[in-house]
Amino acid sequence: MNRAEEILEPGRAAAPGAIARAASTAELEELRRQFLGKGGYAARATEAIKDLEPPERATAGRAVSEFKELVERSLEDRAAALEPESGAGGGGLDLTGGGHGVRRGHLHLVTQIQRELEDIFIGLGYRVAEGPEVEDDWHNFEALNIPPAHPARSMQDTLYVRLGEPEQVVLRTHTSPVQIRTMEANEPPIYVVAPGRTYRNETLDARHSPVFHQIECLAVDRGITLADLFGTIETFVKQLFDDESLRTRFRSDFFPYTEPSAELAVSCIFCHGSGCRVCSQSGWIELGGCGMVDPNVFVAVGYDPEEWQGFAFGFGLERIAMIRYGIDEIRTFFDGDIRFLAQY
């Protein structure tokens, strides 16, 4: 039994009996607070999840949601049983009875991760930049050294708001157009991160969704090297995951807008490298791509590539959340099941 389950255990034993003995709706509300409210069993167990070993997190998460369901079910059953007695004379509406209260919501897990990453990068001296989700061909492709006939376009098929070149308008396929918009509007040096929603014409599977989020990073200055890129990524991965057993892997890759380019992957927390459904049997989960800004990109935005160097990377936010919390299905982020969302 892990720490989160230990916290839940007494609650699990006590809840059904205590709720069944409640004599009024006010008493039921008090019990709801005790089991599910701030500082209650579920909240404390959820808090303990982040200190668990990654493989234990999914089990603990499930235990918390099962506990919440158990309490909710017991409360509903008891409320239904009490109903006939609550009105004056044994029926009708009891205007003196306590209300059910409004349950407090909270930020979606992806938004939480996004804000946390923004904080990490602000701490490193970056500022947050934004760009539109409906993007023109120039910013999404062309200025990023992806001309119309380039094969890289077929890897990022998307939804087209307006067809036809060169005025084609698309739902952006990545956050990289924000690099272009930032450089067009500012003189170097530049240190920005740009989180946001992105779209691709892709089939839904455990790790891929047609709508997802990325965070882009761009640093442009004099004398920036590959060592700065790797050092920055390592710093943020360590801060974010705080997990000694997690391994990172850089592999040479290709992106038209960076040269050289690399892919960053972290070891699969579900199978620890032996291969499973979530990592497509590879033992690694790809977080994103990175590299040194290609001189052609600097030329496209009017910077002198002899004077300025830079690095950039773009990572998937859902993937980061999946690795951190042991979530094995990307669909759970957007199918709106409150039992999933309430755990984080």
How far apart CA 62 and CA 340 sit, in angstroms, is 9
> Is the CB of 36 or the CB of 229 nearer to ligand FA5?
229
Query: Shortest gap between Cβ of 244 and ligand FA5 (angstroms)?
Result: 23
Rounded to 5 degrees, φ, ψ at 220 are -130, 125
Under DSSP, is residue 145 helix (H, G, I), strand (E, B) or coil? coil
Residue nearest to ligand FA5 (CB): 316
78 binding ligand FA5? (CB under 6 A): no
> Is the CB of 32 or the CB of 319 nearer to ligand FA5?
319
Helix extents (H) in the chain: 3-21, 25-36, 41-49, 54-86, 109-123, 137-140, 152-155, 177-185, 226-241, 295-300, 317-325, 338-341
Query: Shortest gap between Cβ of 283 and ligand FA5 (angstroms)?
Result: 16
Query: Shortest gap between Cβ of 164 and ligand FA5 (angstroms)?
Result: 24
Phi-psi region of 125 (alpha: psi -120 to 50; beta: other; left: phi over 0): left
142 binding ligand FA5? (CB under 6 A): no
β-pairing verdict for 190-199 and 127-128: parallel
Considering only residues 37 to 56 of the shown chain, the ones binding ligand FA5 according to CB under 6 A are none
Of 74, 176, 182, 343, the residue at the interface with ligand FA5 (CB under 6 A) is 176
> Is the CB of 150 or the CB of 208 nearer to ligand FA5?
208
Residues 6+ away with beta carbon under 8 Å from 223: 309
289 binding ligand FA5? (CB under 6 A): yes
How far apart CA 315 and CA 50 sit, in angstroms, is 22
Q: Which range of residues in 88-96, 125-133, 181-189, 280-288 is near ligand FA5 by CB under 6 A?
A: 280-288
Query: Shortest gap between Cβ of 82 and ligand FA5 (angstroms)?
Result: 46
288 binding ligand FA5? (CB under 6 A): yes
Residues 6+ away with beta carbon under 8 Å from 17: none
CB 298, CB 265: distance < 8 Å: no
Query: Shortest gap between Cβ of 26 and ligand FA5 (angstroms)?
Result: 46
> Is the CB of 208 or the CB of 272 nearer to ligand FA5?
208
Considering only residues 200 to 219 of the shown chain, the ones binding ligand FA5 according to CB under 6 A are 200, 202, 208-209, 212, 214, 216
Which string of b and e fits 162-189 if b means at least 16 CB within 10 Å? eeeeeebebbbbbbbbbbbbbbeeeebe
197 binding ligand FA5? (CB under 6 A): no
Considering only residues 226 to 265 of the shown chain, the ones binding ligand FA5 according to CB under 6 A are 255, 258, 261
> Is the CB of 46 or the CB of 176 nearer to ligand FA5?
176
316 binding ligand FA5? (CB under 6 A): yes
Of 40, 195, 314, 326, the residue at the interface with ligand FA5 (CB under 6 A) is 314
324 binding ligand FA5? (CB under 6 A): no
Burial class (CB in 10 A: 0-12, 13-18, 19+), 116: middle
Of 52, 219, 290, 322, the residue at the interface with ligand FA5 (CB under 6 A) is 290
Query: Shortest gap between Cβ of 239 and ligand FA5 (angstroms)?
Result: 18
> Is the CB of 11 or the CB of 256 nearer to ligand FA5?
256
At CA 168, angle to CA 305 and CA 199, rounded to 5?
85
How far apart CA 74 and CA 150 sit, in angstroms, is 60
Q: Which residues pair with 216 in a beta bridge?
A: 194, 314
How far apart CA 26 and CA 21 sit, in angstroms, is 13
Interacting residues with ligand FA5 (CB under 6 A): 174, 176, 200, 202, 208-209, 212, 214, 216, 255, 258, 261, 286-291, 312-316, 318-319, 330
